[in-house]
Amino acid sequence: MQYWLMKSEPTTYGIDQLMQCPKQTDTWDGIRNYQARNFMRHQMTPGDLAFFYHSSCQVPAIVGTMKIVSTAYPDSTALDPNSPYYDPKATIDNPRWFMVDVQLQTKFTQPITLQTLRQDTRLQSMLLLQRGCRLSIQPVLPEHWQIILEYNCS
DNA sequence: GCCAACGTTGGC
DNA sequence: GCCAACGTTGGC
């Protein structure tokens, strides 16, 4: 069982959209970065938990938690010419990109902002906080997971 | 909107 | 396989 952090721009797909889905479950599609894809393909397991992170917005923040509820399978948006995530190099036989299903677990009453995370010296080694880290799916250490969750109780 | 940092592409 | 050029991410 592993912990993750998954980024999304709220103007494209925010936590409220996930909340409104049937069973609060949806596909996490559109990942077009090999490192992020490989995490999904080879390391994510149903039952893993992930932070939902809002990026490229006024207040970048962790806004809730999700559960991974499927293994990785081909990302259909890569095959759809009408999708903004269309990739002409993807084929049925060689899908190139993958996605997983996620289910919303909790939406935090207060977003835990990037600024808050940066101020906590215990979190200094988090990938998210490293200079220039653009990885949109990244592992989170169990101790970091716990520390961050405590912010939701205070 | 700026720009630093990073990832990808493609010629050689 | 190198690396310059280009595209993207994402905080500020």
pTM assigned to the model? 0.95
pLDDT computed for residue A154 by the predictor: 74
As ranges, strand B nucleotides with an atom below 7 A of a protein CB are 4-9
Domain of A38, CATH number, reads 3.10.590.10
Torsion sign, CA atoms A105, A106, A112, A113: positive
Contact A37, A29 (CB under 8 A): no
Residue A77 — φ and ψ, nearest 5°? -65, -25
pLDDT tens for each residue of chain A, 154 residues long: 999 999 999 999 999 999 999 999 999 999 999 999 999 999 999 999 999 999 999 999 999 999 999 999 999 999 998 899 999 889 988 899 999 999 999 999 999 999 999 999 999 999 999 999 999 999 999 999 999 999 998 7
pLDDT computed for residue A57 by the predictor: 96
Count Cβ neighbours within 10 Å for each residue of A132-148 and write b for 16 or more, e otherwise. eeeebbbbbeeebbeeb
The answer to whether A86 CB is within 7 Å of strand B is no
pLDDT computed for residue A116 by the predictor: 97
Report how many domains make up chain A: 1
For residues A40 and A73, give the distance between their C-alpha atoms in angstroms, rounded to a whole number: 9
Domain, as residue range, for A145: 3-153
The answer to whether A57 CB is within 7 Å of strand B is no
